[in-house]
Amino acid sequence: MILGDLVFVSGQGAVDPTTGKLAGDDVESQTEQVFKNIEAILKAAGSGLDKIVRCGVFLADIKDFPKMNAVYERMMAGNRPVRTTVQAAALPMEGLKVEIDAIAYR
């Protein structure tokens, strides 16, 4: 959704759009796919990962935070948006370990 110069990206899971399946069974590969999905949406809206100002991260298991965070930092390449990270009671797909939403500017 675009509102003025802001792009709101709803929660993205780790589904690979070419296969329709989860991109892996570990939080690292899933986090990378989530960011690829977010990046594609932002690019289509005239934005990018470097323009994200806020993220919400939902983990199936908060113990996965260090592994998710390592991929998050690599994919964000120095951009440090405001972020909330929580453990969710359940995520909307079996095997899904991470979901991320974002707000960016264009």
Residue 19 CA to chain centroid, in angstroms? 18
Mean pLDDT along residues 36-58 = 98
The pTM of the whole model exceeds 0.85: yes
Residue 5 CA to chain centroid, in angstroms? 20
Q: Write the pLDDT tens digit of every residue in 81-103.
A: 999 999 999 999 999 999 999 99
Q: How many whole angstroms separate alpha carbon 86 and alpha carbon 95?
A: 17
Residue 25 CA to chain centroid, in angstroms? 16
DSSP code for 64: G
Q: Write the pLDDT tens digit of every residue in 62-86.
A: 999 999 999 999 999 999 999 999 9
pLDDT value for 98: 98
Domain ranges for the chain: 2-105
Q: How many whole angstroms separate alpha carbon 70 and alpha carbon 67?
A: 5
Architecture of the 2-105 domain: 2-Layer Sandwich (3.30)
pLDDT value for 15: 97
